[in-house]
Structure 1
Amino acid sequence: MSAAGKRTETTVGTDVMTGVYLPGDSTAVLRELPVPSPGPGQVLIEVGASGICGSDIGYIYHEHKGHRGVDGPAYRGVVAGHEPSGRIVATGPGCRRFGSGDRVLVYHIAGCGLCDNCRRGYYISCTSVERTSYGWQRDGGHAHYVLAEESTCVPLPDELSYVDGALIACGFGTAYEGLRRVGVNGDGDLLVVGLGPVGLAAGMIGRGMGARRVVGVEVSPQRRAWADGLGVFDATLAPESDAEATAALVGDALGAPGALTTIDCSGSRAGRSTALAGAAEWGRVSLVGEGGTLETEVSDALLHKQLTLYASWVTSLPAMAELAVNLARWGLRPESVVSDRFPLARADEAYRLAAGASRGKVVLVPSEEDVS
């Protein structure tokens, strides 16, 4: 419900807040810091929910060269969390689209706004030195408040919760982009490989986009059980010892030679091989899982099946806004993939679970009252 001219600010009840920091030794620590004030073009958001992302686990939470800045985007010792959603409580000079009281989620990259990628809404691919990621190079959402650029805010439909918004801000946006690239629709089936939070998102979104049948492949029995409880997948399968054998199971589940569209969310060599082997002739394969390698025989696996491969990182800001509206229209709630909620004060416990054997997505909420 944003509107130009609505500039009544909500009083912030404190000058100090708690934030979560990741020192890189598999711990999450709490520190107090001042509540920031919005500058030109910025908004102050009271955080309603903030997700824990697998990239944070792999590159920041554990000791990793990316944490130290040897390669990749260095973590600068800021408040963690790049999946925030909440309510705007103050705006800085020059804000024109959003005002106090608006419910928003935050696209997790602030780009330069001028390069071709930024002008297309793909802030994730901005190469300017001005590019900063929430929770990596600037304070993120694991706090009571987060200072955000107005340009990175996405309206959160009234039908969706703050937890829904936090999930759209990264994982659901990533899955949506991958599925948009392969054109999931009612003409064919969808195979999802890897049923972590992004894979669960892909299954749910694929259902919303009209896929005839949705089948998942996942190594972990507890993650398969969690996925089965969502009512999204027609079948969830444990992988066999090789990709071709797993593809045969997929074919049996679909009653077809393969799926017209497949997406790998596992980021593993075996998972990617399964996504290729499980695709039907003339199929379209999406790769969104980070890390690992891709190794494949070319002629039979790719050429003779006439496959098309797509690789995508994170969706654009306009597509993220589109996704939020679509999820509300489809009557789908991202928060259903959340297996565990923790108050900010228990962030260390939350990160330990997210880095270990969580069934689904783990999110942080402001207080114990918001857990249930």
Structure 2
Amino acid sequence: MTTTTIMRGVAIKGGRRLAIQDYAIPVPGSGQVLLKMQASGLCGSDLRAIYRPEKPKSEGAEGYRGVIAGHEPCGQIVAIGPDVSPEWNVDDRVVVYHIHGCGTCRECRSGRYISCHSELGRQAYGWQRDGGHSDYILASASDLVRLLEPLSYIDGSVIACGLGTAYAATLRAQISGLDTVLITGMGPVGLGAALLAQKEGAVVYGLEVDPSRRQAAEELGINTLDGASPKVKENIKELTGGYGPSVVIDCSGHPSARLTGLEVARDWARIVFVGEGGSVTFDVSPLVIHKSLSIFGSWVCSISQMESLVENLVKWKLFPEKLVTHVFSVGEAEQAYTLFDSGKTGKVIIASEEEEKRWSERKSISTA
């Protein structure tokens, strides 16, 4: 444990502004642990709800309270407060499930902290309580998920929200080897959903308008179509034997992508909306009722599903840091957010010096 009492943290000011500030390193209280942060991802919801708006809202699930940002934390326990289960020890590697629920409502007792409706008890890291864009983070032990070897800290930060969100969508769709899946939007969540669906045995196609993201998807082995092509619907039908996909997962949040997914889906298909924001307008009878479609909304996985995801990633030998294109230090947070906001990257991570060095060396070897 370092002897310094000051740490750096990133506060988002809105209007595409942020500040790197000094904070006192917190001391864990009852049921809490202190983590040395190793990796903390940037998420599209940070951009949409906190970084871009001139005045981020302060109430509700997406109300930002001016805390240290970052809701995808992964780190190592360095101090343990009283009343923490003996299963947790100093030096344990952990992912922080980014919603802390009240613990007593029906949703929390099912592990679905994301759906906790307690106005006082529900707090999201990086939104209503200090998050991971810092040198240290104070976490409730009840929010910890063990990071299994050989997964890296950057793997863990991708799991903490983005890949967990993708996993929840694949579970909601009940994907199996019997399915042909169309993923609309090849950003970090869409790429993750595609890789997971492949591991679950499905034939997977991506749909993306941005050429750089199509290229990134193809490099990961995901057959991806140009969403801007006037023949995209015909192409999807042809690839699926004239039937269309049995599952569509929209990760774009874009009206036209959502509509395309509904139009090309085969009869009795399952549709999952994951991408935040936007809207969609469609004629209900021909597109949903007559095709007997099932439409689901999916937000974030439960904490138990996240534990299962970690186990499956080890089993599948699937390392989600392959979705990461850029890694920055806490001091480079402004550069990280500016680049991520361009929409031309994969996953962007703020990491410790040690983890940034490990990732850079590994990336250099893989591209040599």
Task: Establish whether TM, by shorter chain, passes 0.5.
Answer: yes
Whether 1:343 aligns to 2:332 is no
Say which of 71, 93, 96 aligns to 1:82: 71
TM-aligned CA deviation for residue 305 of structure 1: 1.6
The equivalent position to 2:181 in structure 1, one of 179, 190, 204, is 190
| Matching residue within 314, 321, 328 for 1:328 | 314
Do 1:27 and 1:351's aligned partners in 2 also have CA atoms closer than 8 Å? no
Q: Are 1:174 and 2:165 an aligned pair?
A: yes
CA distance in 2, matches of 1:164, 1:345: 21
| Residues 1:142 and 1:281: Cα distance change in structure 2 (over 3 Å) | same
- C-alpha distance in structure 1 between counterparts of 2:242 and 2:179, whole Å: 10
What is the number of equivalent residue pairs in this alignment?
356
1:36-47 aligned within 5 A = 36-47=26-37
Q: Which residue of 1 aligns with 2:234?
A: 248
- Quick check: 1:191–1:278 contact (8 Å CA) kept in 2? no
Instruction: Please identify runs of 4+ aligned residues in structure 1 that moved more than 4 A.
Output: none
Question: 1:221-232 to 2 correspondence within 5 Å?
Answer: 221-231=211-221
1:343–1:371 contact (8 Å) kept in structure 2: no
1:220 matches 2:210 = yes
| Alignment check: 8 A CA contact 1:342 1:371 kept | no
Classify the secondary structure of the residue corresponding to 2:13.
coil
Aligned residues with identical type, % of pairs: 44
Local SS of the residue matching 1:345: helix
Q: 1:124 aligns with which of 114, 117, 136?
A: 114
Q: CA deviation at 1:371?
A: 5.3
Alignment equivalent of 2:16, drawn from 11, 15, 26:
26
1-structure distance, mates of 2:75, 2:84:
17
TM-score, L = length of structure 2: 0.93
In the alignment, the residues of structure 2 paired with residue 41 and residue 202 of structure 1 have an alpha-carbon distance, to the nearest angstrom, of 34
**Aligned to 1:28, what secondary structure does the other structure show?**
strand
Question: Do the aligned partners of 2:253 and 2:274 also contact (CA within 8 Å) in 1?
Answer: yes
State the distance in 2 between where 1:344 and 1:358 align.
21
Gaps in structure 2 of 5+ consecutive residues: 361-368
Other-structure match for 1:148: 139
Q: Match for residue 16 of structure 1?
A: 6
TM superposition shift of 1:71: 6.6
- Which amino acid in the other structure matches residue 313 of structure 1? W
Task: Please identify, of 257-266 and 292-301, the stretch whose mean Cα deviation from structure 2 is larger.
Answer: 292-301
What CA distance in whole angstroms lies between the structure 1 residues aligned with 2:145 and 2:38?
A: 15
Quick one: distance in 2 between partners of 1:38 and 1:224?
A: 44
- Distance, in Å, in 2 between the alignment partners of 1:217 and 1:347 is 30
Q: Give the aligned partner of residue 365 of structure 2.
A: none
After superposition, residues 169-318 of structure 1 pair within 5 angstroms as: 169-211=160-202, 213-231=203-221, 233=222, 235-240=223-228, 245-318=231-304
Distance apart, 1:130 and its partner CA: 1.6
Give the superposition deviation at 1:14: 2.0
Q: Is the 8 A contact 2:209 2:228 kept in 1?
A: no
**Cα separation, 2, equivalents of 1:104 and 1:72:** 24
- Change in 2 beyond 3 A, CA 1:288/1:346: same
Q: 2:103 aligns with which of 107, 110, 113?
A: 113
In structure 2, distance between residues paired with 1:146 and 1:46: 7
The structural deviation recorded for 1:338 is 0.7
Is 1:56 the counterpart of 2:46 in the alignment? yes
The DSSP-based 3-state class of the residue aligned with 1:191 is: strand
Moved more, 67-76 or 103-112: 67-76
- The CA deviation at 1:300 is 1.8
The answer to whether the Cα contact below 8 Å between 2:15 and 2:54 also exists between their aligned partners in 1 is no
Q: 1:72 to 1:127 in 2, by over 3 A?
A: closer
Cα deviation 1:321-347 (Å, max 9, x = unaligned): 101110111110110011111111111
Structure 1, gaps ≥5 residues long: 1-10
Alpha-carbon distance in 1 for matches of 2:258, 2:220? 24
Q: CA deviation at 1:72?
A: 5.7
1:209: Cα distance to partner?
Answer: 1.1
SS in 2 for 1:201: helix
| TM-score, with structure 1 as normaliser | 0.92
- Contact in 1 for aligned 2:217/2:224 (Cα 8 Å): yes
